[in-house]
Structure 1
Amino acid sequence: MSSELVRLGRKRALPSCPNPLFLEWLTELRDQAAEKGLKTQYVYQKALSSLKKYPLPLNNGKEAKILQNFGDGICKILDDRLEKYYRVNGPDAPIHSLPSGVQASGHCSTNLDPSKASSNTQELPGTSGGDHKKTQKGEVRREKGARKKRGYVPQKRSGGHAVLLTLYRHSQVPDSKGFMFKNELQTESQPLCDKSFTVPDLGSKYTAWASVGTLIQRDLVLKTHNPARYSLTELGLVVAEQLESGEREEKNDQKVEEEKREGGEAVECPDTVDLTLDDDDHDDEGVSGRLAKRPSPVGPTEESPTEESQAVEHGEAAARGILLPGCYEIILCVDFIETTGGNTAGKPDLVTELQKNGVTFDIRKLNVGDFLWVAREQVAPDPGQLRPPTVRELVLDYIIERKRMDDLCGSIIDGRFREQKFRLKRCGLHKPIYLVEEHGSAAAHLSLPESTLQQAIANTQVVDGFFVKRVQDVKESAAYLTIMTRYLQKLYTNRTLHCRSRELEGDGPRGAQVSCSLMSFTEFNHGAVKSKCQTVREVFARQLMQISGLSGDKAAAILEHYNTVNSLVRAYGQCASEAQKEKLLSSIRYGKLKRNLGPALSRTVYQLYCTKGPLS
C-alpha cells in the first residue's frame, strides 16, 4: 500500500513538448510552404506557436481545435497523418514521445522488436565475435533511429544559397554598412544563382527571391527597417561561413585538377621543353614568337580581343552597379494616367506629339510625378531564352509634375497640391519641375480667382524652390519634353553612372559627380508609394501640413526640433505657463531665408495638440 502511495505521489516531469509528432508535422508543412513562397507558411507558423505554448498532450487533431489558430483544415491534416502513422507503427505506437526506433515521419528504423533483439544477442554468450556483431548492429540501429535532424543548408546555386553568400561577402568588405537593400542584394546575388530574382520561370509565379522568406523563418537572415534592410544573424553567419569554405575548397580542387592536366600534357610531350633547343633555335623562336604575337593591321585578330575585353569590362561594371558610357540609353517615362483616365482632354494629343517628334518614351505607372527619365542598360537578347533579359534602370535627377489650370484649381481645393509638393521633395530626385499649362483664359471659369492660382504658382517657385515652366497647351508641353529629352541625352553622352541607394544619399564612389550617382527605378518607384507603411515622423509631418498656412518647409523645421507628437507634447508639459506654451514654436526658423515661424502659427499648433475637446 505504501509503495502504491509513493507511486501515486511522485511527479513525473513532462517533456519539453507534450506533442512532438504534431510539432514535427507542422514544422514540415511550414517549411514546404515557405520553400514554395506560399502565404500558408504564416498560418502554420501561428499554429506552431500555439502548440508550443500548450502544456497538455493531445490525442488527435480534433482535440487541437481548442487551440488558437487551429482550424478545420489543419486539424484534418493532423488526423490524416496520425492515421497513416498508426498504420505503419501499429495502433499502440506512442505519439506523446518519440522512441529511439520511431522517426517523426511515421517510419520505423528497424523491423525487429526490441525484446526479440535483446534475446537474440544473449543466445550465444560464449561466442564473443557474434555477440559483438549483434551488439554493434543494435547500436547502429539505435543511432539511426535517434539521428538528429540536419541543420538547414540551402541547395547550391539556389536563391537562399546565393543570398547567404552575398551577405557574408558583403559583411567581410572593409567599411561595410552591415546590411544590404533588396535591390542591391538581388543584383549581387544573381551571378551566384541559376534562377532569376526578378522574373519567374515559365509556368511559375515565384522567383528566387521567395527563398528569402525561408531564410528569415529559419533565423538565418534578419529583415529590418522600411525600406527593408537585410543582414545575417549569428546562426546565418555560421551557415554562410560553411558555404563560403565549401566554395573555396571546390575552387581549390578545380585548380588542382587543372594543374594535374597541365602537368600530364608536359609529361606526354617532353620534347617541347627547352632541353633540345640550342641558341639558334632560341633566336628563331624569338623572332617567330614576336611575329606571331604582333597583331595584324587589318582583320578580326585586331578586333576580337578588344570586343572581348569590352564585354568583360561591361559585365564587371554591371555587377558593381555601374553603367559605362555607350552601354545605356536615355528614355522618357510617361505615367499612364497622362494617357488614359481622369480628364482625358488633350492626353492622346500629348502621346501623338511625342511620337511626331521622334521621342523614345515608355508608358508605365509612376507613384510620384508625371514624367521622368531613366538610363536603361542596353542588353542584347539571348537567342536561347524565351523572356528578355533583366536590364538595369537608373533614374535621372529630373522629374516633372504636369498641371492644367483646372487640375491646379481642384488640387488646391481638396488639399492635394501641398501633399504632391511634399512628396516630390521627398522622392529622392533633386531637380523637380512643375509644368503648368495655362490654356489662355480658361482660368476665368474656375472655382478660384485667377489671382489665387497665379499666387500659388509663384509660391511654388519662390517659396518651395521648384522650377516652374509655363506653357500654353499640350503641343508646347510635348515640345518642352522633347527638348528636355534631347538635352539629357547629350548631357549623359560620356558619363559613367553609379547606382546609389535612397537610404544613403551620396553613397556613390568619391569623385563622382552628383548627377551621375543615381537611384534604381525599382527602388525609387517603391519608395514613392503613396499608401505604403509610414513612420511616426512621416505621419506627424502630414498632420502638421493639414494646418492652414503650415507649408512643407515649416513642417520640416518643426520636425528638426520635435520629430514626433510625443516629443512635442512633452515639451509643452515642461513649459511653466500657458503663454510660454503658445510661443514655444514661434522662434523656430524655416526655409532659405530663415524666417521665424511666428506666434500665430505657434499658438494654432499648441491649441491643436493640447486643447481637450473640440476646437472653437
Structure 2
Amino acid sequence: MHSVNFRSAASFDTNGASLMPSTSYDNRLEKMSHFSIHANTNALRMPPLGLLEKFEDIYKVILILDDRENFVRSKSRNIMDNIRDQYKIQIEVRRLPVGDGIWVARHSHKCIEYVLDFIVERKNVDDLRCSIRDNRYKDQKLRLLRTGLQKIIYMVEGDPNVCEAAESIKTACFTTEILEGFDVQRTSSLADTLKRYGYLTLAIADYYKSSCEGGCRSTNSCPEYRDFIRKCEDLDKMTVSDVFASQLMQVPQVTEEVAIAVLECYPTLYSLACAYSILDGDTRAQEELLMKRSKNVINAAASRNIFRLVWQS
C-alpha cells in the first residue's frame, strides 16, 4: 500500500498577528483552497435563483461549525473571532449531527437556508490514530458519504510523522483520497485549520457566485437546512442496512464507496443472498454479479470477495 508523503508545514502562533493573510504561505494556501473548490465540481447542486438574479444579491454564504469542536468552547475562540474579522466572513456555531463544518446559503429576503455541497470532517492526528484503531474511522466516513453532499473535505491537523502509528495514518489518508474520492487537506495547527476555513469560505462563495451568473437553472437544488439536519439525524439510527454495510467494510477491497454501492443494489444481506441463490451453479456469474449490477462502481476483486464472504463462508 502506498502512503502519503506529508511535508512539514509552517507553524503558526495563536495570536491575532499570525493569522493575517500576508505571507507567501498564505498566498499558496489561498490558491490551493480555490483550486480544491473549483476542481471536480460539475455535479454540485445549486440554491434556487430566478432568471437574471445574482447569487451575491440573494444569498450570503455562512460557515456553520459544530458546537462540540474544542476551539468553539475554549480560549481558541479568539482565533475564530480573528478569522471572522480578517476574512470578512460569517461564522455560526450549531449542533451538527454529521461533520465538523458545513456551509449554508442564507436567503436575504426569506427565512430559509440551503446547505451547499461541502462538508468538513476535522481530525487531529491523535484523534485519527484512535479512530483507526477502534474502527470509528470507517463508520464516520460512511456517514459522511450518506449525507449526500458531493464535496467531502477530510482535514488532517498536525504532523503524522511525529505521531505513533505514523504509517497507518498516512495509509489511511491515501485510501481516503485516492480510493474513496475525499478531498484530504493537511493543516499544521489549530490556527492553520481556522485559516483554511476562512479561505475555503471565500472560495466557496466565489464558486457559487461565478456558477450562478444569470440565475441557476439546475433542477437539482441544494437541500434546505432543516431537511438536511433531519436526514442526518436519521443516520444515527442503526438499521439492518447499516449493520450490513459495517460487515461489508471488513472485506478486502471494500471501501465506504463500494459498501454504499452494494446497498444501493441490495440493501440487506438477505436480499444479496437471494440474488446469489438465483445464480447457484454459475460461480463466475455470482462473482461478477455486484460488478455488473453496479456498472463497475464495484471492482472485480471486491465483487468476488463479497461473494465469497456471503455465499462460500
TM, length-normalised to structure 1 = 0.37
CA–CA distance in 1 between the matches of 2:111 and 2:211? 18
Q: How does 1:79-478 map to 2 (within 5 A)?
A: 324-325=53-54, 326-339=57-70, 348=77, 351-357=80-86, 358-379=88-109, 391-439=111-159, 441-443=161-163, 446=164, 449-478=165-194
* Letter of the structure 1 residue corresponding to residue 201 of structure 2: T
Q: 1:532 to 1:458 in 2, by over 3 A?
A: closer
* Letter of the structure 1 residue corresponding to residue 91 of structure 2: F
**Mapped pair 1:527 → 2:231:** yes
Give secondary structure in 2 for the equivalent of 1:374. Answer: strand
Partners of 1:440 and 1:472 within 8 A in 2: no
CA–CA distance in 2 between the matches of 1:530 and 1:347? 32
Q: How far does residue 547 in structure 1 lie from its aligned partner after superposition?
A: 4.4
Q: 1:347 to 1:460 in 2, by over 3 A?
A: farther
Q: 1:568 to 1:594 in 2, by over 3 A?
A: closer
Partners of 1:333 and 1:361 within 8 A in 2: yes
Q: 1:353 to 1:605 in 2, by over 3 A?
A: farther
| Structure 2 residue aligned with 1:596 | 301
Partners of 1:409 and 1:453 within 8 A in 2: yes
Q: 1:352 to 1:595 in 2, by over 3 A?
A: farther
Give secondary structure in 1 for the equivalent of 2:155. Answer: strand
CA–CA distance in 1 between the matches of 2:158 and 2:217? 39
TM, length-normalised to structure 2 = 0.68
Q: 1:597 to 1:495 in 2, by over 3 A?
A: closer
CA–CA distance in 1 between the matches of 2:81 and 2:201? 16
CA–CA distance in 1 between the matches of 2:148 and 2:227? 10
Q: How far does residue 607 in structure 1 lie from its aligned partner after superposition?
A: 5.2
Q: How does 1:569-588 map to 2 (within 5 A)?
A: 569-574=273-278, 576=280, 580=283, 584-585=286-287, 588=290
Give secondary structure in 1 for the equivalent of 2:222. Answer: strand
**Residues 50-96 of structure 1, C-alpha deviations (whole Å, 9 max, x = no match):** xxxxxxxxxxxxxxxxxxxxxxxxxxxxxxxxxxxxxxxxxxxxxxx
**Residues 483-502 of structure 1, C-alpha deviations (whole Å, 9 max, x = no match):** 111222333347769xxxxx
Gaps spanning 5+ residues in structure 1: where? 1-320, 380-389, 498-508, 609-616
Q: How far does residue 432 in structure 1 lie from its aligned partner after superposition?
A: 1.0
| Structure 1 residue aligned with 2:217 | 512
Partners of 1:346 and 1:474 within 8 A in 2: no
Q: 1:416 to 1:366 in 2, by over 3 A?
A: same
**Mapped pair 1:485 → 2:189:** no
Partners of 1:588 and 1:596 within 8 A in 2: no
**Residues 113-154 of structure 1, C-alpha deviations (whole Å, 9 max, x = no match):** xxxxxxxxxxxxxxxxxxxxxxxxxxxxxxxxxxxxxxxxxx
> Which of 1 and 2 has higher RCO (CA within 8 Å, sep 6+)?
2
Partners of 2:280 and 2:286 within 8 A in 1: no
**Residues 357-381 of structure 1, C-alpha deviations (whole Å, 9 max, x = no match):** 34310000111111111111234xx
CA–CA distance in 2 between the matches of 1:593 and 1:427? 20
Gaps spanning 5+ residues in structure 2: where? 1-47
* Letter of the structure 2 residue corresponding to residue 606 of structure 1: W
Give secondary structure in 2 for the equivalent of 1:567. Answer: helix
Q: 1:488 to 1:562 in 2, by over 3 A?
A: closer
| Structure 1 residue aligned with 2:271 | 567
Q: How far does residue 576 in structure 1 lie from its aligned partner after superposition?
A: 4.6
CA–CA distance in 2 between the matches of 1:441 and 1:571? 46
Partners of 1:585 and 1:599 within 8 A in 2: yes
Partners of 1:332 and 1:371 within 8 A in 2: yes
Partners of 2:252 and 2:305 within 8 A in 1: no
Partners of 1:399 and 1:432 within 8 A in 2: yes
Q: How far does residue 417 in structure 1 lie from its aligned partner after superposition?
A: 1.2
Partners of 1:336 and 1:365 within 8 A in 2: yes
Partners of 1:353 and 1:475 within 8 A in 2: no
Q: 1:539 to 1:347 in 2, by over 3 A?
A: farther
Partners of 2:79 and 2:191 within 8 A in 1: yes
**Residues 18-40 of structure 1, C-alpha deviations (whole Å, 9 max, x = no match):** xxxxxxxxxxxxxxxxxxxxxxx
Q: Percent identity?
A: 28
Q: 1:431 to 1:345 in 2, by over 3 A?
A: same
The structure whose Rg is larger is 1
| Structure 2 residue aligned with 1:554 | 258
Q: How far does residue 349 in structure 1 lie from its aligned partner after superposition?
A: 6.2
Q: 1:494 to 1:569 in 2, by over 3 A?
A: closer
* Letter of the structure 2 residue corresponding to residue 437 of structure 1: E
Partners of 1:353 and 1:478 within 8 A in 2: no
How many residue pairs are counted as aligned between the two chains? Answer: 258
